[in-house]
Amino acid sequence: MPAMVMTPLDKRGEADLEATEAVVERFIDAGVDGISPLGNTGEERKRFAEEVVRIVNGRVPLVVGVAAGTKEMLELARHAESAGADAVPVVVPFYWKVGEEALFRHFAAVAESIDIPVVIYNLQMLTGIDLSPSLVGRIAAECPNVSGLKDTVTEYFHTVGALREAKRLRPDFSVLSGWEDLILPSLLAGADGSICALAKVAPKLFVELVHSAQSGDLAKAAELHRRVLSLITFGVYSNPPISAIKLAINKLGVLIFPAVRGPALLVPEEAHEKVEGVLREAGLLTVRDVG
């Protein structure tokens, strides 16, 4: 499930709905199991959510991001539901670092306010708060409307712990990897798939990786995993990597302009060839494609 965490923008910095439609169609053509627009770095909110719902038109599930403090998140979650989202990912509150009881009530409040499923979004690198496996298990046990976890962690054993805690109580509770390098190991440990950012660069590559692992073709999964690992270097070519990712998608033939809004920066001109090099290393681009 590609995390469509940025809004395609035109040269004026406005939302580019034509490019958005091209991105969505590319995802669907690749056979994704869903799309997750508006993560923590989406440049638009309510209007963009409505437009993506319109473009997708029920063809795949939409998990629409609603990152904010509890009060604003409740408003955004209700709006996402009314717009036609199939689920919402819920991250911990920003700024204040609160304990597990407050975190439980935060997730429970959102889950109780809407009828569509909630996905817990654990992103310690940006929020400064790690959701313990025991808290994930408690949420799974006491909040039936919370259907899964997107675990964007660097510690593989955190995902393993979350799998043990949550699936022991609810076998149908989905655990999804957020970091690309942990997709294959997480699947082998019993995870259900992934919502990740780089899948929007090469959706078919990630679909094939997940399907290969799930079907038991581990030789193919390992080869695809190595190609995925080469994509991770995009992060060094723009700050944050949003512009580099947009540039990569553009290099692959999608008419999306690599514009971003501040404080994000554009990919420096001298790094464009390096982005192309990453795509070639991942087997996504040949010299002929850019010649």
- 11, 95, 150, 200: the active-site residue: 150
Q: Which CATH number fits domain 3-215: 3.20.20.70, 3.40.50.970, 3.90.1150.10, 2.60.40.10?
A: 3.20.20.70
By the 10 Å C-beta count (0-12 exposed, 13-18 middle, 19+ buried), 269 is classed as exposed
Look up the pTM and report it: 0.89
pLDDT at position 10, please?
A: 79
CA distance 167 to 141: 10
Element (H, E) at 91: strand 88-91
* Lowest mean pLDDT, pick from 47-56, 76-85, 254-263: 254-263
Lowest mean pLDDT among 1-10, 158-167, 276-285: 1-10
Cis peptide before 37 (omega within 30 of 0): no
What does DSSP say about strands 146-151 and 174-177: parallel, antiparallel, or unpaired? Answer: parallel
Q: Model confidence at 291, in pLDDT bands (50, 70, 90)?
A: very low
- For position 44, what pLDDT does the model report? 60
* Of the ranges 5-9, 63-67, 151-155, the best mean pLDDT one: 151-155
289 band by pLDDT with thresholds 50, 70 and 90: low
Backbone angles phi, psi at 91, to 5 degrees: -95, 165
Q: What is the rounded CA–CA span in Å between residue 208 and residue 225?
A: 10
Cis peptide bond N-terminal to 2, omega within 30: no
Q: Dump pLDDT digits (tens) for 176-226.
A: 999 999 999 999 999 999 999 999 999 999 999 999 999 999 999 999 999
The verdict on whether 97 is a catalytic residue reads no
Domain range summary for the chain, segments of one domain joined by +: 3-215
Let me know if 200 is a catalytic residue. no
Q: Catalytic residue among 46, 97, 121, 220, which?
A: 121
**Residue pLDDT, tens place only, 61-91:** 999 987 767 778 888 899 999 999 999 999 8
Winning range, highest mean pLDDT, from 30-39, 94-103, 171-180, 227-236:
171-180
177, 196 Cβ separation under 8 angstroms: yes
Contacts (Cβ under 8 Å, ≥6 apart) of 143: 107, 108, 111, 112, 118
